Structure 1
Amino acid sequence: MALLFYYFYNWIVMKKTYLTFVLILISISLFAQNGNGVNSSVFKSGEWFQFRIHYGPFNASYATMQLNETNYKGKSVYHVIGKGTTTGLARLFFKVDDNYESYFDKVDGKPYRFIRQIDEGGYTKDLEILFNHEVNSAIAYDRKRKKDTTLTIPVGVQDMMSAFYYFRNNVEFNKLKYGDDFVIDMILDDDEIFKFKMRYLGKEVLRTKFGKVETLKFRPYVQSGRVFKAKESLTVWISNDENRAPVRIKASLRVGSIVADLEGFKGLKNSFKIIMN
């Protein structure tokens, strides 16, 4: 919410095993919902988040999300940039330098352009996706393989960056009940549209570097495999205020767990609420 970073960044946790932190961070930040509607946006240009991803006591990487206004094809839009890099000892074992960008509508949140440029331990990708919502299609340009792919997109589709901001404004959060599920159509690559599912698990107070914060807890459902222990191995906590900011993300792996904590923020439209007692 991906994002979420979204929303984590890759680093080695055991031989030949890595985790795509950007996808987890920004994607599971999708449900930083508010429900006020786009006419009362919970964010503004200049909003910035930084996350520290750590494995036990060891820092693994940092991720940032920066939102600004820009011009795209003569239209004023939002432009978000998500960046991540491994740091310290983690970088010696597994170098990650990732860049994700999205240009999306300031009124209804639909994406116009998505960029995914990654270098993850030698695995690289340079992808650009242009959306044409009038004809329900998108063209994905794979710069590395010099390949273009046309995809049919459903109404309401989001890329992994724009989705974080879309849901912060467009889901009725105050009506959520424990166990409620949400599904969104998302595009990440040039091969398919996939459905991303989240479940609401109630409220929880967390101790953070900023103090105690009341949060809303969600469980994203991911495919189990050689990295995650099970499809329910991810948990995300969102601030229970008008910002709906990702506060903590935890991924249980086959060996230990990785945690992403909100490390810094600025440019928030609303006050970040701290429990004083």
Structure 2
Amino acid sequence: MKKQIVVVLMLFWSFASFSQKEVPAFKSGEKLWYKMSYSGFLKAGTAVLELNEVELDGKKVFYSKGSGWTSGIIKWFFKIDDVYESYFDKDTIKPYYFKRKIDEGGYKKHRNTQFNYDSKEAYVQDFINQKDTIIAFSNVQDMMSSFYYLRTQDVKGMKKGDEIAIDMFMDSQVYPFKLRYLGKEVLKTKFGKINALVFRPLVQSGRIFKAEESVTIWITDDANKIPIKMQADLSVGSLRAELQQYQGLVTGFNKR
């Protein structure tokens, strides 16, 4: 149960979809609040994603921060307090600096990663194990920048079954990440009936997920392209994340 919640929270940071390149999908000041529940009725936690423009080494960049924590009954037997931060290029979305500080039931990680595009190497500082590592990379996104990078892609011509693949840098390794397009759907939400695009990340079946295709995510079918709902079928029960509040979007939702 503990690892199931952690893995789904980690997947949540990296899920996103795509918008036409002519229309910006996000801007400084965007903030999203999500409610997470276990098996449809137990409050499991909260996730907050925010984006702002800041200055890094004399250059204007985007700074994104993702925070996640457990609450309710779940918190009593498994406490999560995670913070992810990314500084990335405003135009190319290339990550420059990534921070990850997590405490998941006493399991802690505190790592900072700097991406050097001249040497194509990532310098990883592990503060828990007091170890520094240099990893070679090419065309990667970190766990936060991937959320925004994917939202800049044009999917106008995508058909059911088409897939998008990126390489994600996480825990001093590069992981392939695939997202399959399932089609369109009208989703009933607290904001009304929203036109949505449906995607499914391909995950490993077995110990945590029931099958390779156990996670489904609904993305608003508008210029924002933000996740509005996620459903994950676990080996025991299910986990759901739903948008509860937002601010600073580039446009309103495309409602039915």
Residue 175 (structure 1) aligned with residue 171 (structure 2): no
Identity of aligned residues (%): 45
Residue 93 (structure 1) aligned with residue 77 (structure 2): yes
Q: Is the 8 A contact 2:8 2:232 kept in 1?
A: no
Which 10-residue stretch deviates more, 220-229 or 136-145?
220-229
1:33 counterpart residue number: 18
Q: What is the rounded CA distance, in whole Å, between the counterparts of 2:9 and 2:59 in structure 1?
A: 28
User: Shift of the alpha carbon at 1:118?
Assistant: 0.4
Q: What is the rounded CA distance, in whole Å, between the counterparts of 1:199 and 1:28 in structure 2?
A: 11
Q: What is the rounded CA distance, in whole Å, between the counterparts of 2:100 and 2:212 in structure 1?
A: 25
Structure 1: tracts of 5 or more residues without a match: 1-12
User: Shift of the alpha carbon at 1:35?
Assistant: 2.9
User: Shift of the alpha carbon at 1:22?
Assistant: 3.1
1:81 counterpart residue number: 65
User: Shift of the alpha carbon at 1:17?
Assistant: 5.4
The count of residues paired between Structure 1 and Structure 2 equals 255
Q: What is the rounded CA distance, in whole Å, between the counterparts of 1:163 and 1:274 in structure 2?
A: 26
Q: What is the rounded CA distance, in whole Å, between the counterparts of 1:67 and 1:265 in structure 2?
A: 12
Instruction: Report SS of the residue matched to 1:19.
Output: helix
Taking only aligned residues, the RMSD between alpha carbons, in angstroms, comes to: 1.3
Partner AA of 1:160 in structure 2: M
Distance 1:60 1:75, change over 3 A: same
1:270 counterpart residue number: 251
Q: What is the rounded CA distance, in whole Å, between the counterparts of 1:139 and 1:231 in structure 2?
A: 32
1:5-84 mapped onto 2 (5 Å cutoff) = 13=1, 18-29=5-16, 32-36=17-21, 40-55=23-38, 56-84=40-68
1:242-253 mapped onto 2 (5 Å cutoff) = 242-253=223-234
Q: What is the rounded CA distance, in whole Å, between the counterparts of 1:19 and 1:145 in structure 2?
A: 21
Q: What is the rounded CA distance, in whole Å, between the counterparts of 1:22 and 1:258 in structure 2?
A: 9
Q: What is the rounded CA distance, in whole Å, between the counterparts of 1:127 and 1:223 in structure 2?
A: 25
1:95-110 mapped onto 2 (5 Å cutoff) = 95-110=79-94
Q: What is the rounded CA distance, in whole Å, between the counterparts of 2:112 and 2:157 in structure 1?
A: 36
1:237-266 deviations in Å (ceiling 9; x for gaps): 100011101011011011121110111100
Instruction: Report SS of the residue matched to 1:255.
Output: coil
1:129 counterpart residue number: 113
Which 10-residue stretch deviates more, 64-73 or 40-49?
40-49
Residue 221 (structure 1) aligned with residue 202 (structure 2): yes
Q: Is the 8 A contact 2:4 2:234 kept in 1?
A: no
Q: Is the 8 A contact 1:18 1:227 kept in 2?
A: no
Instruction: Report SS of the residue matched to 1:173.
Output: coil
TM-score by length of 2: 0.96
Instruction: Report SS of the residue matched to 1:174.
Output: coil
Residue 164 (structure 1) aligned with residue 147 (structure 2): yes
Partner AA of 2:84 in structure 1: Y
Q: What is the rounded CA distance, in whole Å, between the counterparts of 1:83 and 1:160 in structure 2?
A: 12
Q: What is the rounded CA distance, in whole Å, between the counterparts of 2:200 and 2:91 in structure 1?
A: 28
Distance 1:118 1:105, change over 3 A: same
1:133-167 deviations in Å (ceiling 9; x for gaps): 1221101111100111111101x210010011112
1:208 counterpart residue number: 189
User: Shift of the alpha carbon at 1:18?
Assistant: 4.1
